[in-house]
């Protein structure tokens, strides 16, 4: 087995293991009573923000790995997850959680299509690009389900914020 295969499998395993609790928390929103689901929705958003902070730190460590012209791009890319988590938390705290989740969803979805990120991912094998796409889609699906919980017209959990 080549070193590249081991590195990719390690990164892939870490990515899937990190997203697993988010999937579990998102699914549990729909199978618990309303009082518990309200708490789980907030925990899910906090866990998503922790993932974004971890991603920010992981990308930030690559800035000194290579002293090439990519250093400024890596710094910009590493600040994207940080800004997504902070602005999502700001919107959730000061407006309501639906706006925070919606901002995180739109940011996560549009990040997949940024030219600066796609140019950096194109430097790696297609397997890394496919992994990035899969994880991004999983995150977007989880955020859509959380957003759907908050705007559910039958239980209307946002009434607390009115």
pLDDT tens, residue by residue, 9-21: 888 999 999 999 9
Q: How confident is the model at residue 85 (pLDDT cuts 50, 70, 90)?
A: very high
Q: What is the dihedral of CA 128, 136, 54, 47, to 10 degrees?
A: -150
Return the structure tokens found at 74: 């890596």
Number of domains in the chain: 1
pLDDT tens, residue by residue, 32-72: 988 898 889 999 999 999 999 998 888 888 777 666 677 77
pLDDT of residue 66: 64
The Cα 17–Cα 15 span in angstroms is 6
Query: Which pTM value belongs to this model?
Result: 0.85
Structural domain harbouring 20: 3-161
Cα radius of gyration rounded to whole Å, the chain: 17
pLDDT of residue 1: 56
pLDDT of residue 145: 93
Distances (CA, A) of 107 to 38, 49, 118, 152, 160: 23, 13, 15, 22, 26
pLDDT of residue 130: 87
pLDDT of residue 2: 65
The Cα 147–Cα 119 span in angstroms is 31
């Amino acid at each position: 087995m080549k070193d590249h295969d081991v590195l990719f499998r390690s990164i892939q395993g870490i990515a899937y293991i990190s997203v697993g609790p988010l999937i579990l928390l998102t699914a549990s929103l729909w199978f618990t009573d309303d009082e518990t689901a309200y708490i789980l929705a907030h925990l899910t958003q906090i866990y998503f923000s922790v993932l974004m902070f971890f991603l920010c730190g992981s990308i930030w460590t690559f800035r000194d790995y290579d002293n090439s012209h990519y250093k400024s791009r890596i710094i910009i890319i590493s600040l994207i997850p940080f800004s997504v988590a902070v602005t999502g938390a700001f919107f959730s705290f000061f407006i309501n959680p639906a706006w925070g989740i919606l901002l995180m969803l739109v940011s996560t979805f549009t990040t997949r299509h940024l030219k600066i990120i796609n140019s950096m991912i194109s430097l790696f094998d297609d397997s890394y690009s496919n992994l990035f796409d899969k994880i991004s889609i999983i995150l977007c699906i989880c955020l859509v389900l959380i957003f759907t919980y908050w705007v559910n017209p039958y239980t209307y959990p946002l009434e607390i914020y009115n």
